[in-house]
Amino acid sequence: MSLLPKSPKARRRLMLVAAIAPVLALSVGLALWGLGDSVSFFYTPSQAEQARPAAGRSIQLGGLVAHGSVVKHADGSVEFTVQDQHAIDKVVFQGDLPDLFREGQGVVAVGAFRHDGVFEAKRVLAKHDEKYMPREVSKALKAQGEWRGDGSAPAYESPAKQGGV
């Protein structure tokens, strides 16, 4: 006990530090580890071509669904291609497409490239909003000069359509 400071105030401070330090170290360590490993990058097809993410690494692939590319098979699988100005990627997906999935619209597919270069999507996101263009998609397309205005032909103009949550 002789190592502990004499005044109760200082002793309490030491105790607090002793309690906080391991938790702090643990959470910082976990956070760094977690951010290093489980962050998924967003690529458009041409960015993916340059970055060449390893097969099996979880990423997000965003772009426009190419016109006429959507093939729905009776076994529940779907094929479509996602494109930007310079590149095009084939995507396969098993399951239900989101309600607002359309050809020519922006989409984000979450999944990983296979070794043969086909993107296998675990989830396909198209937002609940008809005007929705995923933010990353619109940004990346703007940078490429592909962007033409506010979404592709919304059914009507609405200032603030969505609500809730």
Q: Considering the complex, what minimum distance in angstroms separates the CB of residue 116 from another protein? A: 23
- Token pair of 125 as six digits: 């996101």
User: Helix (H, G, I), strand (E, B), or coil: what is residue 142?
Assistant: helix
Q: Considering the complex, what minimum distance in angstroms separates the CB of residue 48 from another protein? A: 12
Of the candidates 57, 117, 115, the one whose C-alpha atom is nearest the C-alpha of residue 82 is: 117
Rule CB under 8 A: say whether 149 interacts with another protein. no
Q: Considering the complex, what minimum distance in angstroms separates the CB of residue 130 from another protein? A: 7
DSSP 105: S
Measured CA to CA, the distance from residue 114 to residue 54 in angstroms comes to: 9
Q: Amino acid identity of 47? A: Q
Rule CB under 8 A: say whether 69 interacts with another protein. no
Please give the residue ranges that form the binding site for another protein (CB under 8 A). 8-9, 12, 15-16, 19-20, 23-24, 26-27, 30-31, 33-35, 37-42, 58, 60, 72-76, 94-97, 99-100, 125, 127-130, 134-136, 139-140, 155-156, 158-165
